[in-house]
Structure formats: C-alpha cells, structure tokens
Structure 1
Amino acid sequence: MIGRGEAMAQLQFGVIGHKGRMGHALEAAIADAGHIMHVGVDAGGSIGPFAAHCDVLVDFSAPDALSANLGAARVSGKPILVGTTGLEEEHFVMLAEAARAVPVLQSGNFSLGVTLLAHLVREAAARLGPEWDIEVLEMHHRMKVDAPSGTAKLLGEAAAAARGIDLAANMESGRHGQTGARREGNIGFATLRGGTVAGEHSVIFAGPEERLTLSHSAENRMIFARGAVKAAAWLVGKPAGRYTMNDVLGL
C-alpha cells in the first residue's frame, strides 16, 4: 500500500480473473490505494478490447489464459503483472518473450514479507554449507489446486540459486514408501492442505545438531493484494523487461 507521505497519480487497473477470491481482494486494495479498477474480466474473458484504456494489467486468472493476456499487453503496450500460479516452463518462455516489448512482473507471491523471506533464504543458503539440508514446508486452504505452491517454489528457487544448482534437478517432493536416504544437496518440499489457511511457509535448514527455520504466516489474502497493487503501480512507466518483487523493494 502507498504510504501516506507518498504521492502517486491515480491509475486505471485492468484486472483479469476479478471474480475469484484474489480478484475481490485486488478490487478492495486498488480502491484503498486511491486507484480505479477500470475493468475486470473473468478468468475466461478477454482483456484485449479494454487494455488500451488501462494504465496497467493485472492477471490472476489461469495458466491457459496467459498467452492471450500477454498478447493483449503487447498489442496495447501496457505493463502487466502476473500472479497466476501453476505456471510451467512454456509459460515462462511466454513471459520472457513478452518482456521484450512491455514491462512484465511475475511472482508466485506478492507479499512484501515473503519477498524479504526469499531474500533471507538466499542469504542463509549461500552461507551454510551443503551439510545443511533444506526443506520447504507449506500449507494452504483446501481449495488450492496446485502443489507445491508458487511461493514454495519461489523459496526453493531462492535457495537453489544461492547454491548454484538447478531446482528442478534437485527437488524432492511427495516422499512415500522406501525412498532411501536423503541425497545431499536436494531441496525437499512438503505440502499440507486444509481449512481456510491463507498461506503458511517455512524453510528449514537442518544442519549437524542444529536447525534454523525461517517462516512467514499470511493472516489474510489482502496482504497479497496490497503487495500486487504496490508492484503494479511501481511497474507503470518502466522500460520493457522482466521485473521481480526484489526490484520493487530495492533488494
């Protein structure tokens, strides 16, 4: 959210996926920040006809809609913030291509606290040796459809990058049965689902006879909406390129 001492022009937001839980939170956060949701379209709708009249597009819809939404941003020349989860490698290729033409900011989590947590995870992973095992634990509400969460992957990527390894090649999840001993250097993921939990994430560094845990708890999805609105407003006026929440916070 914009601080009381900061002045910013009122912006027109185009929100894709506005009928979902996150869409409702975004609408409230946009109003709280003094901006306007110029248009909201459902996850299956097209922002294309309205994009030219918006200052920034915000996409919290579905992976299979990403191509069309990025296309609308490119045609209209508008910056786009993408918070859709469950993205695969092909989607990241699309994001990179779109970023050649317009500013693109994509993240698995727009919480300012989680952004700082990822920074701390990166610092810890870089300084603690390979004898420190890394495990990522996350819990979300029963309705969440993808696992591990985008935030869990973000934290795992932060740890992997700090150690100079590829997460996909060093990821352990869904352990069951006779799995054998844990392989040194792997990053483990555990997923919990139930109730109405907005989001709980912990990164555990388990070393010889000691353990370090870095955690974040989301009490309400409004923290993600406020962070997304702050990031989208920051994106307006930036040159074409890929941006992250680290850029927004100057990390």
Structure 2
Amino acid sequence: MTYKIRIGLVGYGKTGKAVANVLSKDPRFELCWIARRTAGASVRTHPETAIPIIGMEQQSFEAIFDRYPVDAVVDFSSAEAVRLYGEIIRKHRIMLVSAISSYSESDLAYVRSLGRNTRVMCSPNITLGINFLMVAANLLRKVAPFADVEIIEQHFKEKPEVSGTALKIAENLGMESNRVTSLRIGGIIGEHEVIFGFPHQTVRLSHSSIRREAFGTGAAFALSQLQACPIGFYTFEDLLVQATNQEWSRQLNFGNDSPKRRRQPDLSRVNR
C-alpha cells in the first residue's frame, strides 16, 4: 500500500479553498486539517469532506499538531503565521511548502533558517506554469544578454501591491523593480509576460492563471518533489530544475546502448 503524505493547510481564503479542493482529491495526499484565522460560525469542515477547519484563535498550533499529526504544512495564509508554527515543524522535521508573497526580510530569513532542520520550499508563486516561464526567461537571458527585456503583470483591481512574482522575475533577470509595468483590470486573476526584443524579432513568454486551482497543482508538485530532497531550503525553481534534469537524463539514456553517451546539460545554474 502506497503511503500518503499527511498535510495540514494554513489559510482558507479564495486561494486556500481552491488548494484544499485539489489536495483533498489527490490520491497521493491526505489533507488532515485546515487552519484559518477564524473557523466561522457555520462552516466546520471542508465541503463534501470530513476535513476539519480549525480557527487559529480557538486552538494553538501545538494542540492542532498533537491532535492531527502531519508530514507537511502548506501555507497560503499570511506572513505572520509561520512564526506561530515554525518551531514545531523545526522540532519534528515537518516539511513546509510556503506560497507567501509578502514576507519581510526578517520573516524570510526565519523561513530560511527552518531549512537547516527540515525540508522547506518557499516561493511567492507556486504555479507550475509561471515557474517554467521563469526558468525559460533566465535561460534566454543568459543566451542573449543583449536583448531588450520588459515585464508586464496584470491582476484583479483589488490587488494593491506590485506582483511579488513579477518582482522575482525582475530580480532573476538582473532588472530594477521599477521596470515592471503593472495593470489592474477586473476579471483577471493573474497574468505575467516577459518580452524579449531582438533585432528584427520579438519573443514573448506569457502565463495566465485561469483558476486558483493552479496553485493547488503547484503545491502538489512541490510536495512530491520536496519529499525526495535532502533537508534544506528550496525555491520552486530549484524543484522544477531538479525534475527537468531528471527527465532530461531519462530521455538521453533511454534506449542508448552506446558506451559513449552524450554529456547531460547542466541546468542547475539556470535560476541562479
């Protein structure tokens, strides 16, 4: 019988609910509990499941972890939450997948410190598509450093700050944050585009979030990859490059009986 990864989900807003939908239906995982700021007067379990929803003001994380042991925590809440459960996951070496985009420098340093004791994946956007875009953009930037580059991000009207994902793309490409163009338009969940301008041609790498469940499939990918990693701190790009290297190696070696095999390309520095 295949062992399921037991998960606790922190955060139950619009994105958290979508993530819960994905993780609760994935046969590789067992979603054991959901923690939110308040449990609410009428909603006590996730719809159509027996997964308990627990208000953080009602029970301490110490009590939650004691009652519902888990192997991993997935956090889609706020920057403050990690301080409430951080030492528990450090002590018990519980994996952490964090998708918080608003960590302060001190909070991020704390999350990094957890990576000395357990497996931690932290990225502002954990959709598979946007991270593939980042890896591809980094590779193209290194191949063609002479190209003009612009970044455009579009989100729903209520999003006040510049996209953390767009700022991360800019940082990876060695660009100033003020080079990011932001648009706020009703009906858009999230769109990112990196435009490379070459002489006589243009390359556009774009990603659109259609449903928030994309964050759930990203969390599932991160969990499946992270469990095979040594203790440490990782970004989603690290896990994606690791998976890409594994697949590249499999493709190169499949059916190749020649004693002299082609050298595997080293993608490990693509997102550095």
| Counterpart in the other structure of 1:141 | 156
Unaligned runs of 5+ in 1: 1-6, 161-169, 174-187
- Note the C-alpha offset of 1:8: 5.1
Indicate how the Cα distance of structure 1 residues 241 and 97 shifts in structure 2: closer, same or farther if over 3 A, else same: same
- What TM-score comes out, normalization by structure 1 length? 0.79
- Note the C-alpha offset of 1:237: 5.6
Q: How far apart, in 2, do the equivalents of 1:79 and 1:224 lie? A: 18
| Counterpart in the other structure of 1:236 | 227
Q: How far apart, in 1, do the equivalents of 2:124 and 2:149 lie? A: 19
| Counterpart in the other structure of 1:51 | 65
State the SS of the aligned residue for 1:63.
coil
| Counterpart in the other structure of 2:79 | 63
Match of 1:221 among 203, 212, 228: 212
Unaligned runs of 5+ in 2: 39-55, 245-272
- Note the C-alpha offset of 1:209: 5.0
In structure 2, give the amino acid aligned to 1:24. Answer: K
1:63-142 aligned at under 5 Å gives the runs: 63-130=79-146, 132-142=147-157
Q: How far apart, in 2, do the equivalents of 1:156 and 1:69 lie? A: 31
| Counterpart in the other structure of 1:29 | 22
Q: Please, what is the CA RMSD of the aligned residues?
A: 2.2
User: CA offsets per residue over residues 43-83 of structure 1, 9 Å max, x none?
Assistant: 47253332350110011111122322322321332010100
Higher relative contact order, chain-length normalized (CA < 8 Å, sep 6+): 1
CA contact (8 A) 1:204 1:212 kept: yes
Indicate how the Cα distance of structure 1 residues 230 and 64 shifts in structure 2: closer, same or farther if over 3 A, else same: same
| Counterpart in the other structure of 1:10 | 4
- What TM-score comes out, normalization by structure 2 length? 0.73
Indicate how the Cα distance of structure 1 residues 220 and 89 shifts in structure 2: closer, same or farther if over 3 A, else same: same
| Corresponding residue pairs, total | 219
In structure 2, give the amino acid aligned to 1:143. Answer: E
Which entry has the higher C-alpha Rg, 1 or 2? 2
Match of 2:176 among 166, 171, 181: 171
Q: How far apart, in 1, do the equivalents of 2:37 and 2:140 lie? A: 38
Indicate how the Cα distance of structure 1 residues 145 and 63 shifts in structure 2: closer, same or farther if over 3 A, else same: farther
